[in-house]
Amino acid sequence: MGKLYHTSCFYCSICNKSLRGKVFYDVKGTIYCEEDYKKSGYKQLSEVCKACSRLILDVVVQAAGHAYHTGCFKCSQCQSSLQDQNFIIDSKNTLLCVDDYYKIHSMECAACKRLIKPADGSNEVGKVMVMNKSYHADCLACSDCKKKLGTGSDSGCYPLNEDTIFCKMCYNKRKPS
């Protein structure tokens, strides 16, 4: 809007009704009450903001087929602006910054207790599941010798119980006869 008004001087440009405490629309410098705005024909040209359900009369931000006010285009968790940064729309159609998405939707690594999420600059998550537990690929290691475990025949994972996993050599040393 850019102009300041005394509340006692704030009137609709068309019908001269006081707009003090009422919904109003500023279209290219012309101030409308809600009724006159609906009659003006501008409403048919305006998009509705997905976040606040109000008409967008200035800059429209388009994301995933929805329109937003610039001020409404923000992370639903931390409220930071999503303009000029990567964002994710989750399965509930919620706007989230990448960090908050992974805070909500990531598993915790059973070894290091940090969230399992993609490395910076990547979209792929390096996660390994062993006995219904999630691990960073780099954190999956033998409980005895700390050798990294993987998918090869010598680096496979051998569970002895729910809480311990071993490399083949350490498993053979510990397995019950």
Mean predicted confidence (pLDDT) in 72-80:
95
Q: Do the strands 133-136 and 158-159 form a parallel or antiparallel pair, or are they unpaired?
A: unpaired
Q: Which of 3-7, 148-152, 171-175 has the highest mean pLDDT?
A: 171-175
Q: Which residues contact 26 (CB under 8 A, 6 or more apart)?
A: 1, 32, 57
pLDDT at 43: 59
Cα(6)–Cα(26) distance, integer angstroms: 16
pLDDT in tens, 8-40: 888 999 999 998 878 777 777 788 888 888 787
What average pLDDT does the structure give for the chain?
83
Domains in the chain with CATH codes: 1-45 (2.10.110.10), 47-105 (2.10.110.10)
Mean predicted confidence (pLDDT) in 133-147:
89
Total residues belonging to the chain: 177
Please list the alpha-helical segments (H only) found in the chain. 34-40, 42-45, 98-105, 168-174
Does this model's pTM top 0.85? My answer is: no
What share of the chain in percent tops pLDDT 70? Answer: 90
**Residue 165 has which token pair?**
């996993």
Cα(96)–Cα(166) distance, integer angstroms: 39
pLDDT confidence bin for 98, thresholds 50/70/90 = confident
